[in-house]
Structure formats: C-alpha cells, structure tokens
Amino acid sequence: MGFTGGWQQALFDEIEDLFADTRHDLSERLRVLTREVEAVIDQGDPMETWPDIEAWLERRVVGLATANHDLITERAEKLVADLSEQFRLESEVPLDLGFNAPKEVLRGLAIDPADTSAGSRRVARLVLAGRTAVIIPYVVFGVMGSGSLLLLATVGPLSLVLGVGIGRKLLRDERQRQLTYRRQQAKIACRRYLDEANFVIGKDCQDSLRRTRRELRDEFEARAAVRGLTTSPRPRQAPAAERPESDPLQQAVLRAQEAERRAAEAERRADEAERRELERRLREPASRRGFAHVRGREQPSRTLDRLTSWIVLGVPIAHRTRYGEEFRFELDHLASRGVPRRRQWAHVLRLGASIWSLRRELRALPAAAAERA
C-alpha cells in the first residue's frame, strides 16, 4: 500500500487482531490460574487455608492483569512502529494506552466468602454419626441376646468394641465428606471470582485499545494532513458522475472514511452488546452472578419461595393464582429492597399463620363477590 488513507483500515484491523490476541492471552492465563488454585485448595482444608488462598488468589490476579497489560503495551508499540514505517507517518507522540492500575480495575471485586466454616450443622452431623455408630451394634446384639441374660452379658462388651469401630469409620467418612464439600465450595467461589476478573480486566483492555485507536487515528490523520493528504468529510454516496475517479488519492480518502465509519459502527455495536451483558449480569441474583461488590436486585431464597407456594395452598383453589402472585411479589419486593433474610422469614411465617383466617374469609364470600374478588 502506498502513501494513502489505507492506514486507517490497517489500524482498525491491527487493533482488532491485538484485542483478540490479548483476550486469548487473558483467558489462557486465567485458565492456568484456575487449575493452580484448584490444586492449592485440594492440598489442604479450606476451613484453615481459606484466608491465605483468598489473599494469594487476589495477588495472582493483580499480577496476571499486569502481565496482560504489559503484553498489550508491547504489541501496541510494535503496531504503531509498523504502521508508521509502512505508511510513512512517523509519530513523535509517545504511546500511552491509559490503562487503569490493575488494583484499581479489580477494586470492589471480592471473592464470595465460601462456606468453609465449621458451623453447627457440621457438629450436629458428627454427633449424629457417632450416635448411629453406638446404636447399631446395641440394637443388633440386643435383639440376639434378648433371650438369655448370659448371652446379653457376653455380647455387651462386644457391642461396645464394635460400636467404637463403626463409630470411628462413620466419623472418618463424615469428616472426609465435609472436607470435600468445603473444597467444592472454595473452588466455586474462586471460579466465580476469576470469571468476574476476566470480565472486568477484559473490559478495561478493550476500552484502552479503543481509546488508543482513536488517539492514533487522530495523530496519524494530523500527520497525513501535514504530508498533503486531506481527509475532509465528503458525501459518502456521491453520484458516480461527480466522483473524482481520476484522482486515486481522493478515492483512497473516501475508502478510508468508509472504513472509519464501519469501525465506528462496529464499536458502537460492541458497546451496546457489552452494556446489555452487564445489565443481564446485574439482573441475576447476586449469589449466582458472584458480584459480591454490587448489591443489585437480590432475589428471595428458593426455600422461602417454596414455602410461600405451600402457604398459598391454604386458600381455596379459585383464589390460589391471585394470592400466589400477591405473596410472591411481596417476598420478591422485600428481597429486592435488601430486607434481611431473617425478616423475610418472619414475613412468610406470619403469612402462614394468617392463611387460615384468609381462607375462612374467602370461603365465606358469596359466589358473586368471590368471582369479583
């Protein structure tokens, strides 16, 4: 290509390639990090190691984002040098991609606290396992020895020994099961975090590259104007007769303008798609999307939703749809306003307590009024 407006198309293509490459690089790094963090989680018990894993993972993601930025900067510098040389549009303006600091980009992004605690349920399960272990041999040998006092005296200690054995096995299995559960929870929390990090870092890279493209385009345009190329806007759909076909330079400028228009359109579409994606994510329940930092529209828990559906069964069939919708709206309204889960429970339980009076009221309605209601 010579000294023509084709540099604009080249710039657009190169930036697109650069963006695709850096996204791939980012995804690859995150994939490797996911495997690493899962291996780390498997090496210990998240109940003890979770704070360390959390800090380590956050550090690694910052490092990863920095490495990704370095790659983009390096590639972009090369791109500018190549373009300048190819189109003889040497620029004296130093390249500044205007990246935000990775820590800044990742600010507000938090790892969803994984359920790695040793809660009361854990203790309760262990106690249950122990109790089962003690009961089983006593029941078995108790039945066997029920006929004779001597046999009962003999099998009593034997039951004790067996109980201890079975108990140890059950407790060991239960501990292992809980450990596996905690590891799974920790892995899910990490994956969510990495997924969000991918989204946020990717967005920042894309914005920086777009900014860079615009700046480079302006700078190169200025250079091109100095070298004698005019890029003043012309009507895109000029009649063929008026088109200066004899002037290749003018045609090149028109082609460049068209390419620029397409690039702007593509950019606008990409922005729109991104905005929609962000909105979709914000509409999801916080627990599912893993946006621990965004308190968007919370959803009621599935248990409460199910409990509400059961409560509605208390009203006569003809009114179930109506009150089902009404109660579900109320629950959703409370959840979306961030009312604590405890109070949501209180609300639903109160509804449950008063459902019989509503039922009585509805059953007492005369047929015509019931139809109206």
Partner 1 sequence: MPPAPFRLTLPTQLVLRALLQEPTREMYGLEICDVAELPSGTIHPILARVEAAGWLTSRLEDEDPRTLGRPRRRYYVLTPDGAERARNALAEAHTTARSVKRLRPGLAGGL
Between residues 22 and 344, which has the closer beta carbon with respect to partner 1?
A: 344
Query: CA–CA separation, 66 vs 58, rounded Å?
Result: 12
Q: What are phi and psi of 91, to 5 degrees?
A: -110, 140
> Nearest approach, Cβ of 112 to partner 1 (angstroms)?
22
Using the contact rule CB under 8 A, the part of the chain among 138-146, 173-181, 255-263, 351-359 near partner 1 is 351-359
Cβ neighbours of 49 (radius 10 Å): 17
Cβ neighbours of 248 (radius 10 Å): 11
Verify binding: residue 362, partner 1, rule CB under 8 A. Answer: yes
- Which is nearest to 255 in space by CA: 236, 229, 271, 270? 236
Interaction mask 275-314, partner 1, x per CB under 8 A: --------x-------------x-----------------
Between residues 230 and 354, which has the closer beta carbon with respect to partner 1?
A: 354
Cβ neighbours of 321 (radius 10 Å): 11
Scanning the structure block, which residue is given the tokens 């080249």?
10
Between residues 105 and 351, which has the closer beta carbon with respect to partner 1?
A: 351
339: left (phi over 0), alpha (psi -120 to 50) or beta: beta
Verify binding: residue 373, partner 1, rule CB under 8 A. Answer: yes
Query: CA–CA separation, 373 vs 370, rounded Å?
Result: 5
Between residues 310 and 329, which has the closer beta carbon with respect to partner 1?
A: 329
Interaction mask 330-349, partner 1, x per CB under 8 A: x-xxx-x--x---x--xx--
Query: CA–CA separation, 97 vs 76, rounded Å?
Result: 8
- The half-sphere exposure of 342 on its side-chain side, counting CA atoms within 13 A, is 0
- Which is nearest to 12 in space by CA: 232, 257, 242, 191? 257
Using the contact rule CB under 8 A, the part of the chain among 124-132, 226-234, 286-294, 360-368 near partner 1 is 360-368
**Interface residue with partner 1, options 187, 203, 328, 341 (CB under 8 A):** 328
> Nearest approach, Cβ of 313 to partner 1 (angstroms)?
15
Per CB under 8 A, which of residues 46..85 are in contact with partner 1?
none
- Note whether 172 and 142 are within 8 A (CB): no
Cα distances (angstroms) measured from residue 348 to each of 7, 224, 351: 65, 70, 5
Between residues 44 and 352, which has the closer beta carbon with respect to partner 1?
A: 352
Query: CA–CA separation, 307 vs 301, rounded Å?
Result: 10
Between residues 77 and 325, which has the closer beta carbon with respect to partner 1?
A: 325
Between residues 267 and 284, which has the closer beta carbon with respect to partner 1?
A: 284
How many Å separate Cα 215 from the centre of its chain? Answer: 32
Using the contact rule CB under 8 A, the part of the chain among 100-108, 191-199, 239-247, 355-363 near partner 1 is 355-363
Query: CA–CA separation, 142 vs 155, rounded Å?
Result: 8
Q: How many residues bind partner 1 (CB under 8 A)?
A: 34
**Interface residue with partner 1, options 236, 295, 342, 372 (CB under 8 A):** 372
Between residues 235 and 338, which has the closer beta carbon with respect to partner 1?
A: 338
List of residues contacting partner 1 (CB under 8 A)? 283, 297, 322-323, 325-326, 328-330, 332-334, 336, 339, 343, 346-347, 350-355, 357-358, 360-362, 365-366, 369-370, 372-373
